[in-house]
Amino acid sequence: MRRIDRYVWRELAGAFLAATLVLLMVSFSGLFADLLSKIARGKVPAALLMSQVGLRSVDILPLLLPLSLFLGVMLGLGRLYRDSEMSVLAAVGLGIGDLKRSILALALPVALIVGLASLWLSPMAQRAATRMIEEANKSLLVIGLEPGRFVELPGRSAVIYLSDMSEDGSEFRGLFVASERDGRLDVVTARSGELFLEAQGDERYLSLTDGFRVEGDPKALDFRMMRFARNDIRVPDSERAEMGRPESQRTLPVLLAADDPASKAELHWRLAAPIAALLLVLLALPLARTPPRAARYGGLLIALLGYVVYLNALGIGRALIADGTVPGWLGLWWVHAAVAGVAIWLLRRQSRANRPRLRLRAAGAA
């Protein structure tokens, strides 16, 4: 690689890393807020917070990295235009086309990572996240029970206390439950017990062994006491976490073999991520051109608007494929073709705008 290519690559790579860092911080903030909201509503166990953040961060890479690459090329080339370094390069016969090595040296590896994340890693991470939540739902830990601490049961006016619990959260000793309903107090104690799922696996129960139950109205002093050898208490259901579209967790071979519109839409959506990364770089080349005295981020707003329109068009295209309006063979190629056409038109328009200036310089020299 030539020295000038290495210099341009460093400019683009630095801007790309800075944009990635900023977008990651924004994305993680939203991710934490979303997960904390689901934990508060009992959809996700609190113990799985960090693992869910890690797995879901893989899921956002196909959307985040193309935008980071787009902004990195825009900011990197924009800085060279603004400081007249591109004019110096043009004076020695190096145009934007002669810098393709440095641009492709950054764009192709990023597009490859986006493709890997979109086609394989993201569905794998979604399946792992779903499996972890389902496994956690089989444990008492999912409802936040900890030995030696009073915990309010979600969805019920009840408080529960355990003196000891097994490591997997399925068995316990020394249980105390106090609840109130319609003014009547209900207190249950048990020496030991375990958590189990009923035959269909949809409902969870606490099986209590060797305990007492006291129920009555505290104001009327009307209480009943019962001793039991075994008593089963149904655990309130927690809200199920949204697992997204089912086809989003399917593997690539399954999507390739499927013939339903939803799978076709998902396949084209995953393919769109690496293609969009490369097309956004092509679109950034003409949009990055900035006059030396122009505003620093003037063209950036137009570029971001173009990115939003492109992303929304892809989303609309995916919905049209899923409901059968757009045939599967056409996919999202019409959206990519439109963006590629706009980028090529802007590049040619910019090239034509430079020709008269070159002719005038040639005439002046003569």
Model confidence at 228: pLDDT above 80: yes
Q: What is the pLDDT of residues 254-268, one digit of tens each?
A: 988 888 899 999 999
| Predicted local confidence at residue 277, as pLDDT | 94
**pLDDT value, residue 71:** 92
CB 158 within 8 A of CB 177: yes
Closest CA to 78 of 280, 284, 281, 278: 284
What the block records as the tokens of 216 is: 């009555």
> Who contacts 335 (Cβ-Cβ below 8 Å, separation ≥6)?
272, 310, 313, 314, 317
Model-level pTM?
A: 0.74
- Amino acid (one-letter) located at 81: Y
Dihedral (C-alpha) 74, 75, 79, 85: value to the nearest 10 degrees?
-40
CA R_g for the chain = 30
Q: Say whether pLDDT at 132 is over 70.
A: yes
What pLDDT, on a 0 to 100 scale, did the predictor assign at position 271? 94
Q: What is the pLDDT of residues 8-54, one digit of tens each?
A: 899 999 999 999 999 999 998 888 888 888 777 666 777 778 888 88
* Measured CA angle at 240 (ends 238, 245), to 5 deg: 175
Question: Residue 138: what pLDDT?
Answer: 64
Sign of the alpha-carbon torsion through 345, 351, 355, 356: positive
Confidence of residue 237 (pLDDT cuts 50, 70, 90): low
Confidence band, pLDDT 50/70/90 cuts, at residue 153 = low
Question: Looking at this protein, which amino acid is placed at residue 249?
Answer: Q
Dist CA 160 CA 172 (whole Å): 12
> Average pLDDT in the 316-335 region?
90
DSSP letter at 143 equals G
Distance of CA 208 to the CA centre of its chain: 41
Coil, strand or helix: which one is 252? helix
Helix (H, G, I), strand (E, B) or coil at 185: strand
Half-sphere exposure of 183 (CA within 13 A, CB side): 6
pLDDT value of residue 3: 82
* SS3 category, 16: helix
33 vs 350 pLDDT, higher one: 33
Closest among 205, 187, 138, 188 to 166, alpha carbons compared: 138
The DSSP code for 288 is: T
pLDDT band at 216 (very low <50, low <70, confident <90, very high): confident
Mean pLDDT score, 164-191: 82
What average pLDDT does the chain have?
82
Structure confidence at residue 79 (pLDDT): 85
8 Å CB contact between 59 and 118: no
Taking residues 289-301, what's their average pLDDT?
Answer: 71
